[in-house]
Structure 1
Amino acid sequence: MDRGQTMNSLWKTILCLLVAFSAHAQTQKKKVLVVPIQGSQYVLSSVIPRLEEYFGALLEIDQTIQVVKEEPATHPEHEQKTTEPEQMVKPQNRKVLEAHNIAEQGKKAILAKRYEQGLTKLLQAEKVLSANLNDLEDFEWFVDVLLWKAYGFYQGGYREEAGPAIKNLVTLRPDLSPAPEAFGKDFCGAIENAKRGIVKGGDLVVSSNVPEAVIFVDGKEVGKGEQKVQGLAVGRHFVKVVEPSGTTLGRFVQVTQKEQSQTFAFKVSAPKPKKPTQAKPLSYYASSGDFSQAFADDAKTACDKMGAQFAMLGYVARSDTAYHFGVFLFDANTKTLLAVEPAVIDLDLSNLQIALLELEARASKVISDPSSGQVVSAKPPIYALAPSQPQAQKPKEAPVVAPAPSPAPPAIEQQASQPSLPPPPQKAQPAEVATGGFEEIPPDFPIAKFTPQQEKPWYKKWWVWTAVGGVAAVGLGVGLGIKYGRSSKSQDTFGATISW
């Protein structure tokens, strides 16, 4: 009884171990995301389906892995182009262009010494540009208007207005040095005197709520984000901020002699959140061989979505003598791509099953032990394989063509260029009318088939023998009449008249 209980306990223990081992084996099965096999342009279209059929069957019967297929995806490049916002070119402000033309008219009037007319044009242009400095691409247009306005006041004798105009000019451009040949020594001297009277102000701190926004002070770029500008002259300066989308904000700022004259903050509209870029399908990377960081991110996302530990990618290339089937395994845990030794398959696919069986065994080993795989750090060499000759792309050789005959002489070539025709028949000569019998034979009579007739002697002519026959017949008739007529006693007379 004790022995029976012991055996029952032993069997129960063995059964529990088998169940536990089976459960452990099930838990050891790794899920692999299989990507459709890709190939180069030199691979025949019928080869890849056969590889997928045989290799897929081997993966299905492998007890260590669980196969899941990549979901079909749309073309990501097209969708990415549609989601990215188009950068519109900002059109030039019409008012700015009109102000620039008005300023040019004012400059010509100043040069013609029509100062009042020229200053009127320049003041009008300055007013329009000051109101549209945000849209002014070249700040030097505004500086040029201030220069000619100051020059017009100075040359026109308006010294009271010329002083402030020159001061405002050198405040924006303390390094300005106009040419004496164009503006005269007196005006250039006034500029130098104003520059010596410049007083430096405190620091100007400019900031923006958009870190990528570019900051300009008096038309000169000073940096991005938050900037501290030092050494500015006391007076009015123009500050402009340009955000990445092209939106601009600007205004005049008064700089004083304080240690820090002003903290000027620009609040531009918050940029629109960019739509997340759609992940590319892993088949795209398998086809291109682009295994960059973007591939690692997209492969990790795809594996997490399917709950897979690995992603398997395949690529088929062709050399002069064989097909090369490479398999790559992406480890989702370490985000590492591992290469498996490629399978070399004959062009006639005679060793297809054996080569794929060995390749699947190597891939299964890498899945079980990732350290046995080769880490891919650059584009694999298999993507550079290609036949050395274009003829290798054809499955069959072209039929041998017999060599062409040697060319004929030039004169014959000209005749041979036209379709060959049979020689035209000779035109028959008109036959002469015969004057009697066959004594005269027409020229077109086939004399080769007949012997020429000769003159018959007189005794062979038909009329001679006809006459002889007629005489003999008459004589025979007369003789018979005499013979049988004498036996009668009556006297008969017989008369005949023969005429010819």
Structure 2
Amino acid sequence: MLVHLLKGKGAVVPVALLTFITSSIGFPVVASAQGVAQKIPVLQIPIIAGPGVPESVQARSQEMLTALLDFRPNLKLVVKEGGVKETTPLAEPVAAAPVAEPVKETAPAGASPAIQKAKSTAETGISHARKGRYERALTSLMNARSQYEKNMAALDNFEEYVDVLAWIAASFVLGGFSEEASSAIRQLLATASDFTAYEETFGARAAAAINDAKGKTKPVGNLTIAASPSDADIYVDGRLVGSGKVEVADLHRGAHFIRVAGPGLIPAARKINFTKTASTKLAAKVIPGARAAVTPVVASVTSSTGKPIEWYIENGEFYRPDFLKVAKDEARQNLVQAILMGYVGMSGNNYHLGLFVFDAKSGVVTAVDPVIFDRELGNMQITLLDLDAKVAEVIVDFPADRPIVTKPELYARTMAPAPVAQPLPVVVQAPEPVSGSVPAPAPAPVVVAAPSPAPAPAPFPSYSYELPEREPQPAGGFDEMPDDFPWEYEEIPSEGQPIYKKWWLWTVVGVVAAGAVVGGVCGAGKCSSDSGAGTVSGTVNWR
């Protein structure tokens, strides 16, 4: 084994060698104990790459994960070749080789005229319900339900019948028939206990009523079914539960449908009203000579809608009833107990890898915690080592109590809108002239250019300008004002001059001063009568 590892590819050798050393040296006791244990057969579907993920990333992660799982002593890995990358319309399924006469194959179940009539009646009722004509809708839908139940043995796509039950319940709710609505919802959830109603399909009020009642229903017992012939397939409410004799656990109270079918058999079906643990038998008629002449043909398993299992992986539609049927058929055809599926998407600067495991025994699909590695793939080896251990643990000890009931969050994070293709230019050639006529000059081909994208708006202009130079002006003063300047003013009332500026005050002061001078002179004896008459002169100034 060591020589085989050393000859492997460079991308796988470090991881596989580490796994080999760990399993051979680190845990000899565990390896010895598991050596005698039975290996679990696992079908690995090639990892699907999401939008924008390079094929090299998808191929490398697939190669490394396969190498790791291949060295698990308790797993027997079967890798499915190929895969569906694009969601393009599928080609018609390859038909089986014709059987020699006198054997006559029965017509496909979906081609039954009674089923086609029921489907047409159901479509009419659904159309009335979407237009708000609930009474007319209920008339058509209940008629379609009766037609389906009478021809259940010929119904291959049980989801058609479930849709009719759902629209009957929604029409009762939206039409205001509360009592009938409760009964219809109970019948729906008894037949399809995992049904989820979406607002965009049934409306917010009807979806809330159905989903609220979903958590209130409880299983009441188990049903044991014995089919004849012993290898005939057994379906309960459209779900393949096994062949021969099986016990179906945790059925809800209400109406259930059992169908037995298989190659070379005329299918048989029965409706039962289940109330507690019980058992029943159902036999399908054998077409004389058909079972000996039927040769198994290995082909890609597809659903009743023509979609292979890879389509459901690429779109994250693990919760749909038709996916569970496809996965069950895929597991049975490849004789495996589990199916391992993977999806790698891109978000920002990282890649997200999510793995999903379908367990054929329980008919449940669950998710393994996704891992993230960088764009340079530097941490891919260590990340996948941890993921490999988680996958092995889920397969060996499958957690049936953790089913996927909605689209995993991984898809919402990594899915990106597809780029819009640009239209190509169209060249219109002029018609050729009619023979015998004078040829006119051939006009030049008219080229219709593809519409160009709208021009980007011009940037907002930035204004920059200089003020014109002005002649120097004299500084200040009212002389600069034009003659017609609109002067506005109001007179300020005068408060009067102060007393020291009054003229009469200084006259009095002058007179007093003059009198004082004369009095002083006379007092000095200069103005006596003996000295004769004298003249006194002076000047008094005031401002």
TM-score of the superposed pair, with normalisation by structure 2: 0.34
Bigger-Rg structure (1/2): 1
TM-score of the superposed pair, with normalisation by structure 1: 0.37
